[in-house]
Chain A
Amino acid sequence: MKNKIIIIFVLSLFLSSCVAVKEYEKVNINDPDMSLSDRKSKKFETSFHVYREGASGVNGGKSGGGCGCN
């Protein structure tokens, strides 16, 4: 419980201390390689992980449905 409170407190400070980056300052953030998702070219790589591994999800791939995979 103590750990939870500390982490939430630190995270709150962390977020509230963020300075909002203006649109015109987002040149680097908007770089295609800064995208917070997998590149489309990794689609089939993600698919084979879904088939070959027990874990799946939160990576842009399937999380169990749509195929006879794990």
Chain B
Amino acid sequence: MKILLSLLFCIPFILLAQTEQDTTSVNQKYSMLYKKRVLENIEIDLLGSFYTQDGSNAAVTGGVGTEELKDLASNLNISIPLNDDDVLTIDATISAYSSASSSNLNPFLGTEYDDDDERRIGTITGGTPWVASSGASKEDVWKSGVLGFSHSSDDRNKIYTTNLSFAKEYDYTSFGVGLGFTKLFNQKNTELGISANVYFDTWQPEYPIELKNYMNTIGKLNTGIFSGIDILNASGNPIDKNSLTVWKPFNNKLIDDEKRNTYSLSLSFSQILSKNLQVSIFADFVIQQGWLANPMQRVYFSDVDNFYIGNAANIINYTNPINTDVFQLADDIERLPDSRSKVPIGMRFNYFISENFVLNTYYRYYFDDWGINSHTLNIEVPIKISETLTLYPTYRFYNQTASNYFAPFEQNLSTEKYYTSDYDLSKFNSNQFGFGIKYTDIFTQNHLWLLGLKNVSLNYNYYKRNSGLEAHIISLGVKFIIE
């Protein structure tokens, strides 16, 4: 690892040796005389995707329960040449999902509340981590917009970029700003880039319904959603709500810092090694601060008594999907440190094998101070079966170690400072198989009003974790230009 970092920092010095043989004065004069536009036409990319997943380790219900999720997303990206040197980019995304696990923020069927979540209007008829609830949290829309600007120098050897971003979902808002600089050397055979991004994010936290109710009613278990409802102990017997051995959350305070800031510095280096071969190496240095846990995600401790609402007979089947009518009350929400440093280092190696085959490889090593180490390998072999059609068979392997704070359902200890049962932070590996096809309209013969078709692509990927999660994603992309 240290060797990789050393290499990365040595690259600029190694390059100094090369820049001596860089652009000759003749080349520079040529560039000044003939300045090609950075972008000839307005380009419009439309992209739509459908994603679906299922598994049995939902984080909202403490590491057990359905992870069924469907997401329909669309993206519009417009690149506009402002003049010979400058390009404005507008990127807008809308992603609408429905999630069984998120719906179980409030798993109790038939419950309705007034605006203060204090008065139960309906009747609790049960709850389970294995079936989606009908609560408002079952669906959400994530909206994002990015405005980008780039300026290229006359000789096209320097590129300056900047961007502003905004994103919003029901319980989360983000503002971001970024700056970048890229320098090309050695007759544009070598490229060095540096960029920095900052995100200022804010939670509008939503909590598991029983914890929220407990806080709102100051622990009165005869009011709110618990009014008239039995709370069962592990033996299935109703407890005396006025006794000392009642259910209560482990922490009296939920979220105390709604901010989440991210600071990211990116370095990149790419080199053309021959007429058919090029390589790039890149690294990010990321620091996150603020509330890095997800306030929706429950945790159940192994050293704390368990309490339930619902059918006592099914407590024994709690972690089995046959449980359709009993729900365990949370001990706490997940707690994670208020800072995290991440370092991903990646490499791409692309080889033009022949007129028909290209080899694209990608490798990433990642580590952070939460204990996650990860390797990602991606191989794609574009196959050009004709001038207009290209096939994209793809394979991706990923693995990671578990975060120091992860433990499965009912295995965290209340004596720990930090804990989570989010399986995205567990140890696992995954395999992904994909296939894509792209049609390229070389001469832009097909038109839709002013829009000339450039290409159409369709991609499908199947993703499977060894922990059981499976996902499918299908994407359709269309690129137009306005001449």
Binding site for B on A (CB under 8 A): 3-4, 7-8, 11-12, 15-16, 18-23, 25-29, 31, 33-36, 39-45, 47-49, 51-59, 63-68, 70
As a 0/1 sequence over residues 255 to 282 of chain B, the CB contacts with chain A under 8 angstroms (1 = contact) are 0000011101010001111111010101
Name the residue in A11, A40, A52 with the highest tally of chain B Cβ atoms < 10 Å from its Cβ.
Answer: A52
B314 within 8 A of A: no
Q: A12 and B17 in contact (CB under 8 A), knowing A33-B358, A45-B459?
A: yes
Cβ of A54 to closest chain B Cβ, rounded Å: 4
Tell me whether A31 and B358 are in contact (CB under 8 A). Answer: yes
Across-interface contacts of A57 in B (CB, < 8 A): 264, 284, 286, 342, 344, 346, 364, 366
As a 0/1 sequence over residues 1 to 29 of chain B, the CB contacts with chain A under 8 angstroms (1 = contact) are 01100110010001101100100000000
Q: A41 and B47 in contact (CB under 8 A), knowing A21-B272, A58-B346?
A: yes
Tell me whether B262 and A29 are in contact (CB under 8 A). Answer: no
B403 within 8 A of A: yes
As a 0/1 sequence over residues 467 to 479 of chain B, the CB contacts with chain A under 8 angstroms (1 = contact) are 0010101010101
Across-interface contacts of B400 in A (CB, < 8 A): 53-55
Residue of B nearest to A41 (CB): B477
Tell me whether B278 and A34 are in contact (CB under 8 A). Answer: yes
Tell me whether A11 and B14 are in contact (CB under 8 A). Answer: yes
Among B290-323, those with CB < 8 Å from A are 294
Tell me whether A36 and B473 are in contact (CB under 8 A). Answer: no
Interface residues on B, range: 35 or more
Contact residues of B: prevailing secondary structure: strand
Across-interface contacts of B364 in A (CB, < 8 A): 55, 57-59
Cβ of B139 to closest chain A Cβ, rounded Å: 15
Name A22's contact: one of B187, B280, B344, B362 (CB within 8 Å).
Answer: B187
Tell me whether A54 and B199 are in contact (CB under 8 A). Answer: no
Across-interface contacts of B187 in A (CB, < 8 A): 20-23
Binding site for A on B (CB under 8 A): 2-3, 6-7, 10, 14-15, 17-18, 21, 45, 47, 49, 51, 53, 71, 73, 75, 77, 95, 142, 144, 165, 167, 169, 171-172, 174, 176, 186-189, 197-199, 201, 203, 260-262, 264, 266, 270-276, 278, 280, 282-284, 286, 288, 294, 340, 342, 344-346, 348, 350, 352, 358, 360, 362, 364, 366, 368, 370, 372, 374, 376, 382, 384, 390, 398, 400, 403, 422, 424-425, 430, 434, 436, 438, 457, 459, 461, 463, 469, 471, 473, 475, 477, 479
Name the residue in A33, A54, A64 with the highest tally of chain B Cβ atoms < 10 Å from its Cβ.
Answer: A54
Tell me whether A59 and B346 are in contact (CB under 8 A). Answer: yes
Residue of A nearest to B261 (CB): A65
CA distance A11 to B461 in the complex (A): 36
CA distance A9 to B463 in the complex (A): 40
